[in-house]
Each structure stands twice: as structure tokens, then as C-alpha cells.
Structure 1
Amino acid sequence: MVLKIEKRIGIATAVDTPYEIMADINSWPSWSPIHRSAEGRLGFGAPVRFEEYYEGLGTWEIAGFVEDWTPLSHIHIRVPKKFYEGSLIRFYEFEILSDNACHFTIGAQFSGFLSEREGKRYRKFLREGFDKFAEALKAKAEGAI
């Protein structure tokens, strides 16, 4: 089984703008309300590390690597776990709607029994944090920040 927690939002600008903002992982703490720190670069297998803060949950450290990445389409980060814990993929996806509109989705995919339990336990906090992240990206991409 797989448990997905995600937030999707429309952005009134060409996909290039929010994608370029997302591609600069190191700048996320300057605009993202959930990121206390972020280090990484886009490239297959490139290490990525975040320190995220969720209201009611506290700080959550994500240490993984870029598993899949296609410009203007998606960024998938795999977070290694012990084999019996299942798997976690953080995903950031873009869908082009027109020359000046796109959808952005941020999410987490928990696979495996223990990982799904973790996702269910933290679902409320992650949804709220993902909502804040998506709204901040929208505001920055549309020029409000």
C-alpha cells in the first residue's frame, strides 16, 4: 500500500517561474515558511538536506537524494530508510496549463507498513505545512513576495 499526502495549487504564471524558484534549493529558507535550512542541487543522485518546521510537530530533518528530475516537470527526492521501514519520496511536480498558468503539487509518498504508519501519524501536520509551502511559492512566483 501507498499513502500520499499532497497539496496542489494553481499558479498564474508560466511554469518557468515557479520551477526556477524550486530549482534553487538553497534559497528555499528565504521564502518558504516551513524550511529552516535547505541544501542541495538538482542532479541525479545529488544529496539534498532540509530542516523543516511543522506547527505542532516541531522540526523534521529530511536527508535524501534527487531520485528523479525533469526540468519544468518534477523533482523527486528519495529519503533512505532501513529496508523494513518502507520508503519515503518527497515530490514537487508541475503541470503546464497554458503559457501563463500552471499547477504545482508538493507531497510525500509513504510506502511500506511502518512508513505508512508514520505518514498517517504526521498527515495533519504535513498537510498544513505543504499548504503553507505551496501558498508561499505561488506568492513568490506571482510577484507578491
Structure 2
Amino acid sequence: MAIKVEKRIGIQTPVDTVYEILQDIEGWVEWSPIHKEAKGKLGFGAPVRFMEHYEGLGDWEIHGFVSDWSPLSHIHIGVPKKFYEGSLIRFYELNILSDTACDFAIGAQFSGFLSEREGKKYRSYLREGFAKFAEALKAKAEGTI
């Protein structure tokens, strides 16, 4: 069984606009309220590093790699762990709803016993932080910030 923490939001702008913002990982620090640092470029296996801040939890450093990526669709970041710790996938996904609207999901999937325990422990903090990220992306894409 896996623990999935996710926030989904509708965005009233074409998926191209949202993807253009999302693909610029290093630009996230300019508008994302949870990213103190974001390093990386899109490309299979490319390294990615985030320093995120969650209210009540503090800073969370992510060292991962682009495990899957498809333009206008999704970015999946694999976060390596020791074999007995399980696995963690951070995901950013887009769905086209119409020519002028899409939805966006940000989340984390924790798999394996120790990783699932981590997911249960931190899910309320992550859910709140993911909601802030999604709202900020929506505002930037819709031109309200």
C-alpha cells in the first residue's frame, strides 16, 4: 500500500501557459511560497534539488532526479532512499480540460513501510504546502500576481 498526499486545482488558462511556468524549475523560487531554493532542468535522469519550507515543519531538502516527464502532461521526481526505507515520488501533473482551462495536481507518493510512516507523519504539513504551491501557480498562470 502507498500513502499519497495530493492537491488538485483548476486553472482558467491554457495548459501551455501553465506548463511554461512549471518547466522552469529554477524560476519556482520567484513565485512559489514553499520553495526557498529550486535547482534542476527537465531531462530524463537530470538531478533536481529543492529546499522547501512547510509551516510547522520547517525546511525539507529534496535531492532527486527527473524519473518521468512529458511536456504538457507531467513531471515526476524520484527521491532516492535506502532500499529498506521504501520510495518517494514527487509529482506535478496537468490535465487539459478545454482550450482555455486545465487542472493541476501536486503531490507525493510514499511507498514501502518506512516511507509510508513518513508520509502519514508529514501529510498535513505537505498538504498545506502543496495547496499554497498550487494556488500560487494558478495566480501566476492566470496573471493575478
User: Shared fold (TM-score greater than 0.5)?
Assistant: yes
Stretches of structure 1 lacking an aligned partner (at least 5 in a row): none
C-alpha separation between the residues in 1 aligned to 2:68 and 2:11?
A: 23
Q: Equivalences for 1:1-145 in 2 at 5 Å? A: 1-145=1-145
Say which SS state the counterpart of residue 13 (structure 1) adopts. Answer: coil
Q: Would you identify which runs of 4 or more consecutive aligned residues in structure 1 move more than 4 Å?
A: none
Say which SS state the counterpart of residue 16 (structure 1) adopts. Answer: helix
C-alpha separation between the residues in 1 aligned to 2:109 and 2:25?
A: 20
Say which SS state the counterpart of residue 103 (structure 1) adopts. Answer: strand
Offset of 1:124 from its aligned partner?
A: 0.5
Offset of 1:16 from its aligned partner?
A: 0.5
C-alpha separation between the residues in 2 aligned to 1:20 and 1:60?
A: 25
C-alpha separation between the residues in 2 aligned to 1:16 and 1:41?
A: 18
Say which SS state the counterpart of residue 43 (structure 2) adopts. Answer: coil
Say which SS state the counterpart of residue 4 (structure 2) adopts. Answer: strand
Q: Deviations 1:39-72 (Å, cap 9, x if unpaired)?
A: 0000000000000000000000000000000000
**Residue type at the aligned position of 1:123:** R
**Residue type at the aligned position of 1:11:** I
Say which SS state the counterpart of residue 117 (structure 1) adopts. Answer: helix
Cα RMSD between the aligned structures? 0.3
**Residue type at the aligned position of 1:25:** I
Offset of 1:22 from its aligned partner?
A: 0.6
C-alpha separation between the residues in 1 aligned to 2:19 and 2:84?
A: 34
C-alpha separation between the residues in 1 aligned to 2:2 and 2:122?
A: 15
C-alpha separation between the residues in 1 aligned to 2:118 and 2:18?
A: 30
